[in-house]
Amino acid sequence: MNYKLLFPTYRNRYLFIQRNLERLSRKHRFERGLNLGAGEGDYDGMIARYCDHLISCDINEQDINYARALNAAVPSLEYRVEDALNLSFEDNTFDLLVSVEVIEHVGRPERMIEEIRRVLRPGGLALITFPSLDFPFTYDPVNRLLSYFTDKKIAQGAYAFGHEYLVSKDDFRAWAEKNNFEVLQERNLSGYLVGLLEMYWTGIAQRIFKANATNLSAGKEKKVALRPSTKGPFLTILTDGIIKADDALFRNASRSVGKGFIIQKKG
């Protein structure tokens, strides 16, 4: 069971990618796609449905090995170990690139955008999500209060999950514009309600149970770790109800737990 789908923040990101790929595939044919930062491969089966051929990569070899086994039955899916700041692919290789919660881990986020520009073909699309620097107070009140007085942070809440820094929408837009991208869509992903429901405990749970809790290149495998499967739990219907309520209330709020962007490389 893919237990992650029960978490509203995760489910919201998943739906952002799935719904937009479904919509975009009606107008675009994606011959070659890249999932940049595949993690445990739980997005790959879904993304592969919209590509003639999908390459899925991550810097963590343990995660790639698990993802390869998880999706062994998915046709036209290839796995590689890659560094997002120094990809081995030739220029203008891909029509589509998906990157979910990766840019906040790489250390040099603008460099990652440069690599995305390089490997995308002119007109190619990138769907990117990241945790927002402008997160709701309800999600992480401690770090929000600390931000008014100091640069110090606690490694929980918004700064759990191996996040040493978060990304602002203004910085992301500036990086995209500098690298010849047009922003087609910007969307808030999870507001004050979801933030309140996930405050702190999700970060603690990941540290305890996730195999590579900090999402780094050499994460140490736990003796007891939860790994996702491809099957969605029935209770996802409850998660979707929470997401709908949160979206109705806070879709246009100035703060969100995460952001979703669709950018297109100009011809």
When computed from its CA atoms, the radius of gyration of the chain, rounded to whole angstroms, is: 18
C-alpha distance across the termini of the chain, in Å: 42
At position 250, the amino acid (one-letter code) is: F
pLDDT at position 233 is 77
pLDDT at 223: 44
Fold of 3-265: Rossmann fold (3.40.50)
206: left (phi over 0), alpha (psi -120 to 50) or beta: alpha
Q: What is the maximal distance between C-alpha atoms in the chain?
A: 52
Provide the residue ranges of all domains of the chain, joining segments of one domain with +.
3-265
Which residues of the chain register pLDDT less than 70?
1, 209-230
Nearest Cα to 46, choosing from 20, 64, 8?
Answer: 20
Query: What are the residues whose beta carbons fall under 8 Å from the beta carbon of 24, sequence distance 6 or more?
Result: 50, 125, 262
pLDDT in tens, 182-232: 999 999 999 999 999 999 988 887 777 656 655 666 555 544 456 666 677
Task: State residue 228's pLDDT score.
Answer: 66
Nearest to 164 by CA among 173, 155, 176: 155
Annotate the chain with three-state secondary structure. Answer: CCHHHHCHHHHHHHHHHHHHHHHHCCCCCEEEEEEECCCCCCCHHHHHCCEEEEEEEECCHHHHHHHHHHCCCCCCEEEEECCCCCCCCCCCCEEEEEEECCCCCCCCHHHHHHHHHHHEEEEEEEEEEEEECCCCCCCCHHHHHHHCCCCCCCCCHHHCCCCCCCECHHHHHHHHHHCCEEEEEEEEECCHHHHHHCCCHHHHHHHHHECCCCCCCCCCCCCCCECCCCCCCCCHHHHHHHHHHHHHHHCCCCCCCEEEEEEEECC
The pLDDT value recorded for residue 219 is 53
- The whole-number pLDDT of residue 216 equals 60
- What span, in angstroms and rounded, lies between the C-alpha atoms of 162 and 152? 15
| Predicted structure pTM score | 0.92
